[in-house]
Amino acid sequence: MKEQATLHSRVVNIIGFPVDLGADRRGVDMGPSAIRIAGLEDRLRKLGYEVIDEGDIHILIMESQKIENPKLKYLDEILKTSNVLASTVEDILVRDHFPLCLGGDHSMAIGSIAGISSYCRKQNKELGIVWIDAHTDMNTDLTTPSGNIHGMPVAAAIGVGNVALTNFFGICPKMKPENVIIIGARNVDPDEKDIVQQSGVKVYTMTDIDRQGIHAIINKTLKHFQKNVDHIHVSFDLDSLDPGIAPGVGTPVRGGLNYREAHSLMEAIADCGCMSSFEVTEVNPILDDRNKSAELAVELIASAMGQKIL
**Near Mn ion by CB under 5 A: residue from 237, 242, 267, 279:** 237
Q: Is 233 in the site for Mn ion (CB under 5 A)?
A: no
- Please report how close the Cβ of residue 267 comes to Mn ion at its closest, in angstroms: 22
- Annotated catalytic residue within 20, 239, 279, 288: 239
Q: In terms of DSSP bridges, do strands 275-281 and 180-185 run parallel, antiparallel, or are they unpaired?
A: unpaired
**Near Mn ion by CB under 5 A: residue from 133, 141, 192, 267:** 133
Q: For Mn ion, which is the closer residue by CB, 90 or 133? A: 133
Q: Is 105 in the site for Mn ion (CB under 5 A)?
A: no
Partners of 103 in beta bridges: 17
36-39, Cβ contacts within 8 angstroms, sequence gap of 24 or more: 36/102, 37/291, 37/294, 38/291, 38/294, 38/295, 38/297, 38/298, 39/295, 39/298
Q: For Mn ion, which is the closer residue by CB, 49 or 131? A: 131
- Please report how close the Cβ of residue 131 comes to Mn ion at its closest, in angstroms: 8
Cβ-proximal residues to 16 (8 Å cutoff; 6+ apart), any chain = 32, 33, 36, 54, 55, 56, 57, 101, 102, 104
Q: Is 20 in the site for Mn ion (CB under 5 A)?
A: no
**Near Mn ion by CB under 5 A: residue from 137, 141, 288, 299:** 137
**Near Mn ion by CB under 5 A: residue from 43, 73, 106, 233:** 106
146-205 binders of Mn ion (CB under 5 A)? none
- Please report how close the Cβ of residue 106 comes to Mn ion at its closest, in angstroms: 4
Strands (E), the chain: 11-17, 50-56, 98-103, 127-132, 180-185, 202-205, 231-237, 275-281
- Annotated catalytic residue within 56, 105, 135, 279: 135
Helix 108-122 vs helix 75-94: crossing angle, to nearest 10: 40
Interacting residue ranges for Mn ion, rule: CB under 5 A: 106, 133, 137, 237
Residues acting as catalytic residues: 106, 133, 135, 137, 150, 237, 239, 282
